[in-house]
């Protein structure tokens, strides 16, 4: 990356850790010495012991990401990759465990970190690794009864055309065809051989209710009837197509199981067919409120890989300044949206939302003028950004009744940062923070303790509201954050109210950062916004792995990218904060009233595009 603060932490933690672990576990641990790889390979039999030692003795208390990679044709094994971090900061320690593709089985780490729960279920669902000791190993994104594990390299979808893009059928003899035309059903479906419809019984729905206890609760003095309620996927307060199976005793929540995958649109499988550049616009559609910071994380991951090779030029200073500007404006957009919707969920239906959206629209005007789109910005490139900030935000009339606007971009930004947004944030603070609608519904509701938040791999505002000052911008600085002056916002009660307050705090910190970035942009005006030669659509990405992480508004967003040295990634995994933050949802909701579920969910602030990918 760029010249960052040369702290001791930027040295990879593998070496020193390996020495410590080697003394105890001898041959069970060894260095991953493949080219471009880093980390420690662990004998699956001792995985739990090593993980426990890493957590308790080495201080790696936070499981950032756990994912599987299929090395078909390159060792023919499946590999589980764990990224561990210290909540006190520093780069990630990478642990890996391999298992054969047939009857893939690994010990579950849910006993060490509860945050491994959903990630292991995802690995089972999509890669087919069975985790022994996992309490609830069910499919998470697809449904029970689905045929196969789709992220395996030899699994092909119904509309399969080729292993990687670009497809040969598009040029030079590109006769247009819809994929439906080649499928016997005219649909995106494919059934296993020998599938007989008439004997088939769908298990998708039954499996959800299999473990739910129904009937009378005889343990209590007064026998009450348990009710099981399915909330969602169509529900005005689930922020999209999220579903929960809630077991109620009266109004009190006894158990809650999140059901997701209703927006599982195969981001990772498509990402592995795409070239590196082609993934950029797809990342926009992960957390579709914060497309620009998603871009940044992916650009970092691929740049980290590219820096392994020769002829790599890091992004220019101006490019980094523009990136930070975009990322922080995105944070404000997201938190405005989150607070507006939290109030929506609390019952202040749509009015606070209207004011939040107004501010968002004004930021979006700038995004649209600079990147070309309101939401799907597709703006970052490997080595910089796609365009410079325009001198003027001007429009031309092309449709009837078009009304044009023309403003100086930097002046617009200055006014936005110094006047409009601070005023809007203050207004939210003034009217909402002490409002009894907010205080009565939020204080003391959905408490997540510090220890639980760390164990459950919660990230972003959820983690920081529970008293953990962990922010990737400070813990593992990227871009120019190391040079910028800002505080990591922390709150200590871990309830819905603190998660609301921390978003206000973070918006104020973002304004503080933006005020520092604006002069940088003025100073670097006219300097290149892209390093190296432009116009390269298939950059050379050397073989290896990298994990690029950024502090997205919703938490740590990580991209784990494995390259073979070809045009497209072998593995492309997204560590989605919205997905992993949901691990702690049941814990937060237990014992509360059913109406609190929407408030708690609103305070976690999930986006389904990222949760389900």
Partner 1 sequence: MYGSGVWRGLLVTLKHFVATYVDDIRWGFRRRNPAAFPVRQSLDGRGVFTVEYPEEKIAVPERFRFIPFLVVDNYDHPERAGHDWCTSCGICAKVCPPQCIWIVRGSDPDSGRPVPEPDAFYIDIDLCMNCGLCAEFCPFDAIKMDHDYELASYDRTSNHIYDKRRLSKEFRYWQSIAPTIAEQEASARGGWEHKDVLKQKAKDAKAVASEQAE
Partner 2 sequence: MTNNSDFLKELHDPELPVPDDMRSSVAVTNLDKLMSTVYNWGRRNSIWPMAFGLACCAIEMIATAASRYDQARFGMEVIRASPRQSDLMLVSGTVTKKMVVPIVRLYNQMPEPKYVLAMGACACGGGPFKDGYNVVGGIDKYIPVDVYVPGCPPTPQALLHGLIMLQKKIDGQSLSNRNSVPWYGRGPSDEATMPVLGPDIIDPRQAHILRRQAGATEQPSEPADTDA
Task: For the CB of residue 173, give the shortest distance to partner 1 in the complex, in Å.
Answer: 6
Task: For the CB of residue 278, give the shortest distance to partner 1 in the complex, in Å.
Answer: 4
Q: Which tokens in the block code for residue 346?
A: 């609390």
Task: Looking at 242-290, list the stretches that DSSP marks H as alpha helix, in order from N- to C-terminal side.
Answer: 267-273, 279-284
Determine the Cα–Cα distance for residues 613 and 607; give it in Å rounded to an integer. 10
> Is residue 530 classed exposed, middle or buried when 0-12, 13-18 and 19+ CB atoms within 10 A define those classes?
buried
* Residue closer to partner 1 (CB basis): 146 or 350: 350
> What is 516-550 written as a DSSP string?
HHHHHHHHTTTS-SB-S-S--SS----SEEEEEEE
Give the residue from 50, 39, 53, 45 showing the smallest Cα distance to 94: 39
User: Partners of 95 in the beta sheet?
Assistant: 40, 82
Q: Out of 72, 142, 212, 362, which residue is the one contacting partner 1 (CB under 8 A)?
A: 362
Instruction: Tell me: does residue 57 bind partner 2 (CB under 8 A).
Output: no
Residues numbered 478-497 forming contacts with partner 1, rule: CB under 8 A? none
Q: Out of 316, 344, 371, 611, which residue is the one contacting partner 1 (CB under 8 A)?
A: 371
Let me know: does 592 contact 496? Beta carbons within 8 Å: no
Give the residue from 275, 296, 276 showing the smallest Cα distance to 557: 296
Q: Calculate Rg over the CA atoms of the chain.
A: 24
Q: Out of 20, 72, 386, 443, which residue is the one contacting partner 1 (CB under 8 A)?
A: 386
Instruction: Tell me: does residue 352 bind partner 1 (CB under 8 A).
Output: yes
Determine the Cα–Cα distance for residues 37 and 53; give it in Å rounded to an integer. 23
Show the site string, 234-273: x = touches partner 2 by CB under 8 A, - = not.
Answer: xxx---xx-------------------xxxxxx--xx--x
Instruction: Tell me: does residue 407 bind partner 1 (CB under 8 A).
Output: yes
Show the site string, 173-192: x = touches partner 2 by CB under 8 A, - = not.
Answer: -----xxx--xxxxxxxxxx
Residues numbered 296-355 forming contacts with partner 2, rule: CB under 8 A? 350, 353-355
Q: Which does 371 bind (CB under 5 to 8 A by kind): partner 2, partner 1, none?
A: partner 1
Is 367 in a helix, a strand, or coil?
helix
* Residue closer to partner 1 (CB basis): 9 or 365: 365
Q: Out of 48, 51, 369, 504, which residue is the one contacting partner 1 (CB under 8 A)?
A: 369
* Residue closer to partner 1 (CB basis): 372 or 444: 372
Q: Which does 608 bind (CB under 5 to 8 A by kind): partner 2, partner 1, none?
A: partner 2
Determine the Cα–Cα distance for residues 75 and 228; give it in Å rounded to an integer. 47
Let me know: does 481 contact 327? Beta carbons within 8 Å: no
Q: Which tokens in the block code for residue 460?
A: 């972003």
Q: Out of 6, 8, 33, 194, which residue is the one contacting partner 2 (CB under 8 A)?
A: 194
Q: Which does 396 bind (CB under 5 to 8 A by kind): partner 1, partner 2, none?
A: partner 1
Q: Which does 477 bind (CB under 5 to 8 A by kind): partner 2, partner 1, none?
A: none
Task: For the CB of residue 450, give the shortest distance to partner 2 in the complex, in Å.
Answer: 33
Determine the Cα–Cα distance for residues 598 and 604; give it in Å rounded to an integer. 10
Residues numbered 518-537 forming contacts with partner 1, rule: CB under 8 A? 535, 537
Q: Which does 186 bind (CB under 5 to 8 A by kind): partner 2, partner 1, none?
A: partner 2
State the number of binding residues for partner 2 (CB under 8 A).
69
Within 10 A of 349 (CB to CB), how many other CB atoms are there? 11
Residues numbered 118-157 forming contacts with partner 2, rule: CB under 8 A? 141-143, 145-147, 150, 157
Q: How far is CA 94 from CA 15, 114, 456, 558, 583, in A?
A: 11, 18, 18, 13, 22
Q: Which does 386 bind (CB under 5 to 8 A by kind): partner 1, partner 2, none?
A: partner 1
Q: Out of 256, 416, 454, 599, which residue is the one contacting partner 1 (CB under 8 A)?
A: 416
- CA-CA-CA-CA torsion for 180, 185, 190, 191, nearest 10 degrees? 180
Instruction: Tell me: does residue 568 bind partner 1 (CB under 8 A).
Output: no
Show the site string, 422-441: x = touches partner 1 by CB under 8 A, - = not.
Answer: -----x---x--xxxxx---
Q: Out of 406, 485, 526, 533, which residue is the one contacting partner 1 (CB under 8 A)?
A: 406
Q: Which tokens in the block code for residue 502?
A: 């921390």
Residues numbered 142-201 forming contacts with partner 1, rule: CB under 8 A? 165-167, 169-178
Q: How far apart are the first and last CA of the chain?
A: 27
> Diameter of the chain by CA atoms?
77
Contacts of 164 (CB under 8 A, 6+ apart): 273, 274, 275, 566, 567, 568
* Residue closer to partner 1 (CB basis): 16 or 391: 391
> Is residue 68 classed exposed, middle or buried when 0-12, 13-18 and 19+ CB atoms within 10 A define those classes?
buried
Within 10 A of 435 (CB to CB), how many other CB atoms are there? 16
Instruction: Tell me: does residue 310 bind partner 1 (CB under 8 A).
Output: no
State the number of binding residues for partner 1 (CB under 8 A).
72
Instruction: Tell me: does residue 200 bind partner 2 (CB under 8 A).
Output: yes
In the complex, the residues that contact partner 2 under the rule CB under 8 A are 141-143, 145-147, 150, 157-161, 178-180, 183-198, 200, 202, 204-205, 233-236, 240-241, 261-266, 269-270, 273, 281-282, 285, 288-289, 350, 353-355, 357-358, 360-361, 374-376, 608-609, 612
């Amino acid at each position: 990356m760029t010249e960052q603060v040369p702290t001791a932490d930027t040295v990879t933690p593998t070496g020193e850790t390996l020495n410590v672990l080697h003394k105890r576990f001898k041959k069970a641990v060894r260095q991953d010495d493949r080219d471009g790889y880093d980390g420690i390979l662990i004998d699956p039999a001792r995985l739990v012991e090593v993980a426990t030692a890493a957590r308790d003795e080495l201080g790696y208390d936070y499981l950032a990401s756990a994912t599987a990679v299929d090395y078909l044709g390159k060792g023919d094994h499946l590999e589980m990759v764990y990224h561990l971090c210290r909540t006190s900061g520093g780069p990630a320690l990478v642990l890996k465990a391999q298992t054969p593709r047939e009857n893939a089985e690994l010990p579950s780490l849910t006993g060490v970190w509860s945050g491994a729960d959903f990630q292991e279920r995802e690995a089972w669902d999509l890669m087919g690794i069975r985790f022994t000791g996992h309490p609830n190993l069910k499919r998470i994104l697809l449904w029970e009864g689905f045929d196969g594990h789709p992220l395996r390299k030899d699994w092909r979808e119904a509309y399969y055309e080729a292993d990687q893009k670009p497809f040969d059928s598009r040029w030079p003899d590109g006769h247009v065809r819809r994929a439906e035309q080649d499928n016997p059903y005219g649909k995106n479906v494919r059934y296993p051989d020998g599938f007989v419809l008439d004997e088939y019984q769908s298990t998708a729905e039954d499996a959800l209710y299999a473990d739910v206890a129904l009937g009378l609760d005889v343990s209590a003095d007064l026998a009450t009837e348990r009710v099981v309620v399915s909330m969602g996927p169509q529900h005005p307060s689930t922020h999209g197509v999220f579903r929960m199976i809630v077991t109620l005793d009266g109004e009190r929540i006894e158990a809650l199981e999140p059901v997701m995958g209703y927006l599982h649109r195969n981001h990772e499988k498509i990402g592995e067919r795409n070239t590196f550049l082609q993934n950029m616009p797809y990342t926009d559609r992960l957390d579709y409120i914060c497309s620009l910071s998603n871009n940044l994380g992916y650009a970092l991951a691929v740049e980290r890989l590219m820096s392994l090779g020769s002829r790599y030029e890091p992004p220019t200073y101006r490019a980094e300044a523009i990136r930070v500007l975009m990322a922080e404006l995105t944070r404000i957009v997201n938190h405005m949206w989150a607070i507006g919707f939290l109030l929506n969920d609390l019952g202040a239906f749509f009015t606070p939302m209207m004011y939040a959206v107004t501010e968002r629209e004004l930021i979006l005007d700038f995004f649209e003028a600079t990147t070309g789109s309101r939401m799907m910005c597709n703006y970052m490139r490997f080595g910089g950004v796609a365009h410079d900030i325009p001198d003027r935000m001007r429009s031309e009339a092309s449709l009837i009744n078009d009304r044009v606007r023309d403003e100086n971009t930097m002046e617009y930004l200055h006014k936005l940062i110094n006047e409009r947004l601070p005023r809007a944030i203050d207004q939210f603070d003034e009217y909402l923070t002490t409002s009894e609608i907010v205080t009565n519904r939020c204080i003391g509701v959905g408490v997540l303790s510090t220890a639980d938040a760390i164990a459950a791999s919660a990230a972003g505002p959820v983690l920081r509201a529970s008293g953990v000052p962990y922010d990737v911008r400070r813990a593992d600085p990227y871009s120019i954050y190391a040079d910028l002056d800002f505080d990591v916002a922390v709150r200590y009660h871990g309830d819905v109210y603190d998660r609301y307050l921390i978003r206000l705090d973070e918006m104020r910190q973002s304004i503080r950062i933006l005020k520092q970035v604006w002069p940088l942009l003025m100073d670097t005006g006219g300097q290149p916004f892209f390093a190296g030669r432009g116009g390269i659509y298939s950059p050379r990405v050397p073989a290896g792995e990298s994990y690029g992480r950024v502090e997205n508004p919703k938490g740590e967003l990580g991209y784990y990218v494995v390259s073979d040295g070809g045009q497209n990634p072998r593995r492309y995994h997204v560590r989605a904060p919205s997905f992993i933050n949901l691990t702690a949802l049941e814990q937060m909701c237990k014992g509360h009233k059913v109406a609190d579920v929407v408030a708690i969910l609103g305070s976690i602030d999930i986006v389904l595009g990222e949760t389900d990918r």
